[in-house]
Chains A and B, each alone.
Chain A
Amino acid sequence: MIDCDVHNDWVNADVLLPYMDETFGDFLRRGERAGGAQSFPHGHRPWLHPEGYRRADLNPAEGHSAGSDYAMMKEQLLDKYDLEYAILTGEEIIDLSTIANPYYASAMAKANNEYLIHEWLTLDKRLKGSLAVAPQDPEGAAAEIRRRGDHPDIVQVMLSSAARRPYGDPFYNPIWEAAAEVGLPVAMHLGGNGGVNAESSFAMPPTFYYEHHALLCQSAMSHVASLILHGVFEKWPTLQFVIIECGISWLPPVLWRLDSGWKALRKETPWLKRLPSEYARDHLRFTTQPLEQPPNSDHMLAMLEAMDGKNTLLFSSDYPHWDFDDPYEVAIPKDWHENVFDLNIRKVYKKLPQKS
């Protein structure tokens, strides 16, 4: 079993300092931090979880958050579920995209990646890493992908689902170019809505945390449409996109609408050779958590079948967050398990040992 979304946290953001140069090290050391001393300087989060967003049963050692305690992660996740690999997605670093200054953001991406490589990926052979990049700095992101993307335990490039423009915008092309060049998939993890980025809801800001949480799929819908329609997958035919924690069941209806539009108005996007849904099927993968739980599970199954879930879903738990999915409870057909918990994942993450 492989888990595609495990949040390794830091005790505080000062762990980045040893990996930063003088200019941006000073910025972090002496500069303003939205959350007080030692916090990560992200610039958003109007939606505050009323109970905190981590599982309440984990009780990490003093001064740690659940995901920052490797011994606990080992016991409660890696060993408990006998994971073969866990793909680490970081915690606050996902919110890099909320920092207005792109150069500062890229300096922190780089520091995070060194911290990850030196202080997490050395702990356990089962841990694999995501290379954080700042999407607001496409050239910097591309340079970072070329600088560190060939590390054997770095299995993907990662950015947040909230951004300033939809990801098909040619502004972002340098990132996709670099990812395709080094052969890494790009993951888009939920996060970063608000502030300088798009809101989670297109009608503008929601009020309540769970309102925001239910609607954050809207960002992912936009990126999916934009990536496909701008022809990102025609330009980089080997590029794979992994959409993490943005919900699942919205995908088929969005693709149905795009397919209808294409049939009538293909002339707007003459570079597309196929139905939008066909690009989705070949280039997009979705992590399972949090799998929607309708009262009638057949309704969900119909959606999963409509998106060929057997071949497009990748298992994720989201440890140690409050909406964690237990792998033994994931409601997918039994005969999909081998694919979703293992084979689909190895196909995307080609650096994992392949099964013949």
Chain B
Amino acid sequence: MAKKQINIGIADLNPGERKIIEVDGKSIGLFNVNGDYFAMHNRCPHMGGQLCAGPVTGTTLPTDKTEFIYGRHNELVRCGWHGWEFEIKSGICTVDPKMRAKVYKVTREESGLILHI
């Protein structure tokens, strides 16, 4: 299906911030991850919860012994319902790579951000 390109204007999010916007009848989470913008459908592939309304966070990185290494700061969103973690950039669920949230490409133009939807 041909993608629409929708100019959603200038966004003013700081790194780690997110807002939920309505675009083309869809609820979409717009995230600033370390200076880059990403967009994700605000609907969880698990049970349809408000995926983008949960905390933006990092997590513990996999380890080989009993230790806690925090990483991926602000790269993940935890679904607002059951708290499954999804990578904002790719939509991939941390514990199950086959479980993917829908993500949309975001590009920047002078006049604002363009959402490819």
Contacts and interface: CB of A to CB of B under 8 A. Distances in A.
Interface stretch (B7-15, B31-39, B42-50): B42-50
A51 B81 CA distance: 11
B78 A51 contact: yes
B82 interface: yes
Interface of B: 47-50, 53-55, 78-83
Given A51-B55, A51-B78, A56 B48 contact: no
Contacts, number: 36
A324 B44 CA distance: 14
Given A326-B48, A326-B49, A57 B55 contact: no
A322 B48 contact: no
Ranked nearest first, the 5 interchain pairs of A and B with the lowest CB-CB distance are A57-B80, A57-B53, A57-B50, A56-B54, A56-B80
Contacts of A59: 53
Nearest to A328: B48
27 contacts: A51-B55, A51-B78, A51-B83, A55-B81, A56-B54, A56-B55, A56-B78, A56-B79, A56-B80, A56-B81, A57-B49, A57-B50, A57-B53, A57-B54, A57-B81, A59-B53, A322-B81, A322-B82, A322-B83, A324-B49, A324-B81, A324-B82, A326-B47, A326-B48, A326-B49, A328-B48, A329-B48
Contacts of B83: 51, 56, 322
Given A56-B79, A57-B53, 6 more contacts: A56-B53, A56-B80, A57-B54, A59-B53, A322-B82, A326-B48
A21 interface: no
Q: Which of A55, A58, A325, A328 has the most CB of B within 10 A?
A: A55
Interface in A51-89: 51, 55-59
Nearest to A57: B80
Contacts of A57: 49-50, 53-54, 80-81
A329 B48 CA distance: 9
A137 to B, nearest CB: 36
Interface in A19-75: 51, 55-59
Contacts of B82: 322-324
Given A51-B55, A57-B81, A324-B82, A329 B47 contact: yes
A356 B80 CA distance: 40
B78 to A, nearest CB: 7
A291 B35 CA distance: 40
Q: Which of A56, A323, A326 has the most CB of B within 10 A?
A: A56
Interface string A189-216: 0000000000000000000000000000
Interface string A236-272: 0000000000000000000000000000000000000
Nearest to A320: B81
Nearest to B54: A56
Contacts of B49: 55, 57, 324, 326
A326 B79 CA distance: 14
B60 to A, nearest CB: 10
Contacts of B47: 325-326, 329
Contacts of A55: 49, 80-81
Nearest to A326: B47
